[in-house]
Structures are given as C-alpha cells and as structure tokens.
C-alpha cells in the first residue's frame, strides 16, 4: 500500500479510546501485540472451541461462551492464586498439576478422608491457592 520507495514507514491504529494520548495509545497497542493469537490458540486447541458440537447456532454460541468462561476462570486462577512459574501454563498442564490429582476416599473410624497419590509440593500448592482465593465462607 505504501510501497513508494521511501524509507518512511506508516503505522495506523484505529481506536475508540478518545481520552488517551496518541503516544500512549501506540505503546498500549504494542504491549498487547500477539495476545489474541495465543488466546485463540488456547480456546481452539485446548478448550475445544474449534470443534462446534451442533448444527444450531445457539448451541454453538453457548459452547463457545463456555470455553471463553473456562479460559477466563483459568486465567484468573493463574494470576491470583498459583505460583508465578505457572503463569504461562496451558490448560492441559494445569489439569495435570491441579485438577487431575488421583486419590481415594477412605472410610475409617466413622470418618471420611481423602488419601491423595501425589507429591507433598503439589498438595501444598493447591492448599495455598485455596487459601489465597477470595472464596465465600
């Protein structure tokens, strides 16, 4: 479009943020570069938003919304409660580390307890995440 042989490069940003200075707007745009592609990749490949389940638009829209909600919940969990090294973890890794913890429910002495088959570090990490999260009591 601008191939006229000059060394000047043109860069355009369209935005509806009217109260922001142009320099700040360009800095903000450059900071978020590439994030939507990563979000789309995780939604499509890890959270099954790439394969729609039905031929009906409403069902597919609900499926996609559930995938987006799952992505947002996992992102909030990573940012609020999990260690910093899991900030870039994909849902499959989070599932392996946190959600897919094997265990057995044991009835003994009129008490029900859970015997977990995992390392103490993972149990400690999960308990710390539950302590940090603002859950209703």
- Give Cα 104 to chain centroid, integer Å: 29
Give residue limits of the domains in the chain.
22-132
pLDDT at 90: 93
pLDDT at 25: 87
pLDDT at 89: 92
pLDDT at 3: 65
pLDDT at 122: 82
- Residue 34 gets the label, from left (phi > 0), alpha (psi -120 to 50) or beta, of left
Q: What are the helix and strand counts (H, E) for the chain?
A: 5, 2
pTM given for the model: 0.66
Q: Which helix (H) or strand (E) holds 107?
A: strand 103-108
Half-sphere exposure of 117 (CA within 13 A, CB side): 7
Q: How far apart are CA 33 and CA 20, in angstroms?
A: 18
pLDDT at 71: 94
Provide the residue-wise pLDDT of the chain in tens; the chain has 137 residues. Answer: 556 777 777 777 888 888 988 888 888 888 877 778 889 999 999 999 999 999 999 999 999 999 999 999 999 989 988 889 989 999 999 888 887 777 888 999 999 998 887 788 888 888 888 888 877 76
């Amino acid at each position: 479009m601008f191939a006229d042989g000059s060394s000047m490069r043109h860069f355009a940003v369209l935005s509806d943020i009217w109260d922001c200075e142009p320099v700040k707007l360009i800095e903000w745009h450059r900071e978020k570069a590439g994030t939507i592609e990563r979000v789309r990749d995780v939604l499509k490949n890890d959270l099954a938003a790439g394969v729609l389940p039905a031929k009906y638009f409403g069902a597919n829209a609900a499926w996609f919304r559930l995938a987006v909600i799952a992505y947002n919940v996992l992102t909030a969990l990573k940012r609020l409660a999990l260690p910093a090294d899991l900030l870039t973890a994909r849902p499959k890794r989070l599932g392996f580390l946190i959600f897919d913890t094997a265990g057995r429910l044991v009835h003994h002495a009129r008490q029900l307890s859970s015997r977990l088959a995992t390392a103490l570090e993972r149990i400690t990490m999960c308990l710390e995440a539950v302590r940090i999260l603002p859950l209703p009591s």
